Amino acid sequence: MGLDFSVVPSYFGVLLQGMGWTIAITIGAGLLSFFGGIIFAVAALYGHWVIRLPMRGFAWLFMGTPLLLQLFLIYFGLIQIGIDLPAFVAGVIGLGLHFAVYNSELIQASILAVDKGQYEGARTLGLSRGQTLRRIIIPQAVRAVIPPMGNNMIALLKDSALVSVIGVMELTLAAQQAISRTYRPFEFYLAAAFCYYIINLALEAGLRRLERRIAASR
């Protein structure tokens, strides 16, 4: 059947829209994984055991199983308990939680590595336990793991393609839609790959700038 890329430009709008959704999912899930990661880390280190133990189990389960399986669990599981979320929201929650677990592991190690003197100093100055964590420990701990969390963010962007499987209309599904009308899978998947590559380059450049700024502010 040979290749014919001349059909691609007429679906430019469809792909562009898909790209927009991919970026939206990445940002939404990225924010969720960032703040979720901090909350999980604090709960895992300082929470009551009633919180801590289920948390460990949850992290263990989410790090040991495939993301695709987790997306199926969240999408169909929520429907089963009567919460019928739009696929987009389920996708953002699934991706966000998955990477929150990985971010949490990084932040936990980083919190433990913050100098003990910082904690003692803050307490001596009259800050409460919560204040010390919020204002002194966590900002330092999070800042130290921005580069590896950035790598997770890049992985998240690429894994966002998986939410097409539960029917979220992002770049991969947009390409599939174009393919179902033109029967040209090679051309459109290649075009989609190209779009991902561009977003990936932009994200990497952004992260490098962020890292430089953090390094400079030290």
Partner 1 sequence: MDFELILRVYPFFLEAAWVTIELSVLTTILGLICGALGAAARMSRSAILRAIGATYVSIFRGTPALIQLFIFYFGGPQIGIQLDAFEAGVIGLGVNIGAYMAETMRGAIQSVDKGQTEAARTLGMSRWETMRKVVLPQAMRMMIRPLGVNINALIKGTALVAAISVIELTYTAQRYIGSTYKPFEMFLLSGALYMIIIYVVGQGINWLDRKARIT
Strand, helix or coil for residue 76? helix
Nearer to partner 1, 61 or 214 (CB): 61
Spatial separation of the C-alpha atoms in residues 51 and 39, rounded to whole Å: 12
Spatial separation of the C-alpha atoms in residues 74 and 58, rounded to whole Å: 13
Could you say whether residue 14 binds partner 1 (CB under 8 A)?
no
Spatial separation of the C-alpha atoms in residues 17 and 24, rounded to whole Å: 11
Nearer to partner 1, 144 or 156 (CB): 156
Could you say whether residue 33 binds partner 1 (CB under 8 A)?
no
Helices (H), 47-170: 49-64, 67-80, 87-113, 116-124, 129-131, 138-144, 146-159
Handedness of CA 13, 19, 22, 23 (dihedral sign): negative
Nearer to partner 1, 111 or 192 (CB): 192
Number of shown-chain residues binding partner 1 (CB under 8 A): 38
Q: Quick one: 164 exposed, middle or buried, by C-beta within 10 A (0-12, 13-18, 19+)?
A: buried
Nearer to partner 1, 9 or 57 (CB): 57
Could you say whether residue 67 binds partner 1 (CB under 8 A)?
yes
Could you say whether residue 126 binds partner 1 (CB under 8 A)?
no
Q: Count H helices and E strands in the chain, helices first.
A: 10, 0
Site string for partner 1, 160-199 (x = CB under 8 A): xxx-xx------x--x---x----xxxx-xx-xx--xx--
| Least distance CB 131 / partner 1 (angstroms) | 37
Nearer to partner 1, 10 or 65 (CB): 65
Could you say whether residue 72 binds partner 1 (CB under 8 A)?
yes
List, in order, residues 6 or more apart from 190 with CB less than 8 Å away: none
State CA 130 to chain mean position distance.
27
Nearer to partner 1, 107 or 156 (CB): 156
| Least distance CB 11 / partner 1 (angstroms) | 16
Contacts with partner 1, residue ranges (CB under 8 A): 1-3, 61, 64-70, 72-73, 76-77, 80, 158-162, 164-165, 172, 175, 179, 184-187, 189-190, 192-193, 196-197, 200-201
